Amino acid sequence: MTASELARWIRPVRRDVEKALKACVPPARVKPATIHRAMRYSLLAGGKRLRPLLCCAAAEACGGTVRQAMPAACAVELVHAYSLIHDDLPCMDDDDLRRGKPTSHRVFGEGIAVLAGDALLTEAFAVLARARPAARHTGADLVAVLAEASGSRGLIAGQVADLEAEGKKPSEPALYFVHAAKTGMLLRAALKLGGMCTGGSASRIATLDRFGFALGLAFQIQDDILDETQSVAKLGKTAGKDAAAGKMTFPALYGLPRSREMAARWTREAVHHLRPFGSKGDVLRALTERLLHRDH
Amino acid sequence: MTASELARWIRPVRRDVEKALKACVPPARVKPATIHRAMRYSLLAGGKRLRPLLCCAAAEACGGTVRQAMPAACAVELVHAYSLIHDDLPCMDDDDLRRGKPTSHRVFGEGIAVLAGDALLTEAFAVLARARPAARHTGADLVAVLAEASGSRGLIAGQVADLEAEGKKPSEPALYFVHAAKTGMLLRAALKLGGMCTGGSASRIATLDRFGFALGLAFQIQDDILDETQSVAKLGKTAGKDAAAGKMTFPALYGLPRSREMAARWTREAVHHLRPFGSKGDVLRALTERLLHRDH
């Protein structure tokens, strides 16, 4: 699949995702207006929508449609948006800029930012509960997968380990743990949920999970590299911040050239896992390659 | 039902709830240990377990068992525990004391307190997704009810309105909105989920909902009264704090004697709704009366 074929696949899917996300959160006029304004501010701030795209591509790889995967795609993005708001709080990473705009707590204050995150997380489960997966899996199964990926042994475990690692000497196991939990768990959930929504078999779901693990590492290594090498304008968030905070990153531990090699290796590993999908895995394959070569 | 008969009903149920709650959160030795310690610190800090008791009593009122309602009972208490941690944060109510112990952020720091709340909320949905309701309702239906009650038009709406009302002139509609959302929504969810877990009919669930609305107001008015009249030692949290912060409360708007009358009136209203349950509603009735006469 060429870059322009991929772009042609992405465009309508991303448009549908934006539309569906808009419908996930009450309009700003619904009382209390502040919270709905804050939720929409963060959720509809643009972004790559990587997780929804992966979710929809996984659905197609399992023989289903984008439409079937849409509630799950939205749920995963809702969780992602919540996690960014809370990560940016002064008591966490204390960031002022996200997706090129002031962070939630800079605009709405810390109290509302905490609550907006809470509300987006809650809404994720509400949206997922309304999904009607095709066969084999129930709505409750979807909820269980998302909750596991987002919980204290998933996304949150990564954030805790990240907080606790600050200023400590980086170690390889700790670095992999943080990155696998903080980025990988939600990417894997996006893929698995996409497959589950369309009645994918247990073996297909397991394959998507293994693919997601490798993809998550490739993605996070590339993210670390971009954080060191790109400008604020490109990234839309404070650059060089991780290094300044003494955070564990791949470049900090291995240097840039070796980090680049590792990103390429995990990308190959990810693509390798897609073999059982044949040509149905073309979009996932192209998305994976594109992530390695992105510049923001 | 006499007070001692009610006490005999409560004792084993509360013991089962404590046991089930302990099993909801990984042991403190599971990595990252900090988050699991913080989750257990707040979740297992005692408390009345009112919401789980109501959930279990509602299950029995609909002809089911406490055992059937246990996942839902735990889920509701997990949401309650999360909301207390976030409400106590410096950027919200800034409280130092909860259930007689230092609040989560005083012990673990703000970052971990935010994450512990997030993790308890997430776990609530994980637990509920594992429930297998008897008939009529699916696990996804349960998740939808809990998410709605906890979301930006439920629990969180109440907290936002509460934050925004501070220092403003109290008004009756604003006061009812805050209290109905902040306390009422989760009590109603506890009752409805209890009924749903045991296959209660739509009309039974609707009756539990109306009962819960009245009970929520009775409970919150009584809570406001106790906050004004009781000592820190009795309450286990900072007393007189609401009045000092210029918060809207029933005593602030109506004075103590009229607030007492209103609590009694909403209690009668709540009990009235239980008539269709006949003697199966005895425990709910006795719990309601007991809440009016509690001193902490």
| Per-residue model confidence as pLDDT tens for chain B (296 residues) | 999 999 999 999 999 999 999 999 999 889 889 999 999 999 998 889 999 999 999 999 999 999 999 999 999 999 999 999 999 999 998 999 988 899 999 999 999 999 999 999 999 999 999 888 877 899 999 999 999 999 999 999 999 988 887 777 778 888 888 888 888 999 999 999 999 999 999 999 999 999 999 999 999 999 999 988 886 666 666 666 666 666 778 998 899 999 999 999 999 999 999 999 999 999 999 999 999 888 77
> Min CA distance, B276 vs chain A (Å)?
30
Residue A180 lies in domain: 3-292
Rounded to whole angstroms, the Cα distance separating A235 from A241 reads 12
Q: Go through B263-282 and write b for each residue having 16 or more CB atoms within 10 A of its CB, e for each that does not.
A: beebbebbbebbeebeeebb
For the CA atoms of B158, B159, B162, B166, what is the dihedral angle to 10 degrees? -170
pLDDT in tens, A154-167: 999 999 988 887 77
Residues of chain A in contact with residue B91, where contact means CB-CB under 8 angstroms, are 109-111, 114
The pTM for the full model equals 0.95
A47 touches chain B (CB under 8 A): no
A144/B140 Cβ within 8 A: no
The CATH number of the domain holding residue B134 is: 1.10.600.10
In A186-245, the residues whose Cβ lies within 8 Å of chain B are: none
Residues of chain B in contact with residue A125, where contact means CB-CB under 8 angstroms, are 125, 143, 146-147
In this structure, what DSSP letter does residue A181 have? I
pLDDT in tens, B49-64: 999 999 999 999 999 9
B150 touches chain A (CB under 8 A): yes
Structure tokens at A100: 């090129």
Report which residue type is found at A246: G
Select from A63, A56, A57 the least CA-distant residue to A201: A63
Which among B110, B114, B148 is the top mutation candidate for probing chain A, defined by the most A β-carbons within 10 Å of its own β-carbon? Answer: B114
Rounded to whole angstroms, the Cα distance separating B192 from B73 reads 11
Rounded to whole angstroms, the Cα distance separating A195 from A206 reads 10
ipTM of the complex: 0.94
| Total domains in the fold of chain B | 1
pLDDT in tens, B66-83: 999 999 999 999 999 999
Residues of chain A in contact with residue B81, where contact means CB-CB under 8 angstroms, are none
Residues of chain A in contact with residue B142, where contact means CB-CB under 8 angstroms, are 140
Given this model, what pLDDT does residue B59 score? Answer: 97
CA distances from A38 to A116, A246, B127, B292 (A): 6, 31, 28, 38
Given this model, what pLDDT does residue A23 score? Answer: 96
A176 CB burial (10 A radius; 0-12, 13-18, 19+): middle
Residue A232, pLDDT > 70, answer no
Segment A92-119 shows an average pLDDT of 95
B101 in helix, strand or coil? strand
Q: Report CA Rg, chain B.
A: 18
Rounded to whole angstroms, the Cα distance separating B224 from B250 reads 6
In this predicted structure, which of A14-23, A203-212, A232-241 has the lowest mean pLDDT? A232-241
